[in-house]
């Protein structure tokens, strides 16, 4: 894949993300739009913190690293330029990695590294059927 293709793919991804944010605002969902704006940076900080945390099993860290390499790789099962289904393989990989992390670290460890709104974390964890896991006091 050429650098030009990567730049175009990144531009399309950012464009879709911006359209989603504008659409949420237009449909009267400003809070959801703000959550979407901060979701990716918060997830990156979460994953970076989990990689450094000694409470996270080595196996989970290896899976997290493999997932990051998969997401960063220009080689995909489904090309990114395909509307809607292009990012599907990346989303599935991210979901599998996050579910594994939640199952093997517990909610408290995840909360320790989450820097976003607690409600956003609840939504993300609910997507993976683990919202009830280790409901502890948020630090």
Look at residue 125 in the predicted model and tell me its pLDDT.
75
Query: What's the rounded Cα separation, in Å, for the pair 47 and 65?
Result: 9
Per-residue pLDDT of the chain (139 residues; tens, 9 = 90+): 566 665 776 677 667 777 877 887 888 888 877 777 777 778 778 888 899 999 999 999 999 888 877 776 766 666 666 665 666 666 677 777 878 888 888 888 988 998 888 888 887 777 665 545 444 433 3
Cα–Cα separations (whole angstroms), residue 113 to 31, 42, 43, 102, 105:
22, 9, 9, 12, 12
Look at residue 128 in the predicted model and tell me its pLDDT.
60
Strand residue runs (E) in the chain? none
Q: Flag whether 93 is in a domain.
A: yes
Question: Which tokens in the block code for residue 39?
Answer: 């979701």
Residue pointed to by tokens 């393989």: 89
Look at residue 77 in the predicted model and tell me its pLDDT.
66
Q: Flag whether 12 is in a domain.
A: no
> Within a 10 A sphere around the Cβ of 139, how many other Cβ atoms?
7
Query: Whole domain around residue 45: which residue ranges?
Result: 38-127
Q: Flag whether 58 is in a domain.
A: yes
**For the chain, what is the domain count?**
1
Contacts (Cβ under 8 Å, ≥6 apart) of 36: 17, 20, 21, 24
Q: Flag whether 55 is in a domain.
A: yes
> Within a 10 A sphere around the Cβ of 102, how many other Cβ atoms?
21
Query: What's the rounded Cα separation, in Å, for the pair 110 and 4?
Result: 37
Q: Flag whether 87 is in a domain.
A: yes
Look at residue 55 in the predicted model and tell me its pLDDT.
93
Look at residue 59 in the predicted model and tell me its pLDDT.
93
Q: What is the pTM of this model?
A: 0.63
Q: Flag whether 137 is in a domain.
A: no
């Amino acid at each position: 894949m050429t650098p030009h293709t990567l730049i175009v793919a990144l531009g399309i991804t950012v464009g879709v993300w911006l359209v989603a944010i504008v659409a949420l605002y237009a449909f009267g969902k400003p809070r959801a739009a703000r959550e979407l704006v901060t979701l990716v940076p918060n997830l990156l900080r979460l994953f970076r913190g989990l990689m450094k945390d000694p409470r996270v099993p080595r196996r989970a860290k290896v899976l997290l690293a493999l997932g990051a390499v998969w997401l960063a790789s220009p080689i995909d099962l489904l090309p990114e330029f395909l509307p809607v289904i292009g990012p599907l393989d990346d989303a599935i990989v991210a979901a599998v990695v996050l579910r594994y992390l939640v199952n093997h670290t517990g909610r408290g460890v995840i909360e320790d590294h989450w820097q976003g709104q607690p409600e956003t974390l609840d939504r993300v964890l609910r997507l993976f059927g683990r919202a009830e896991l280790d409901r502890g006091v948020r630090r």
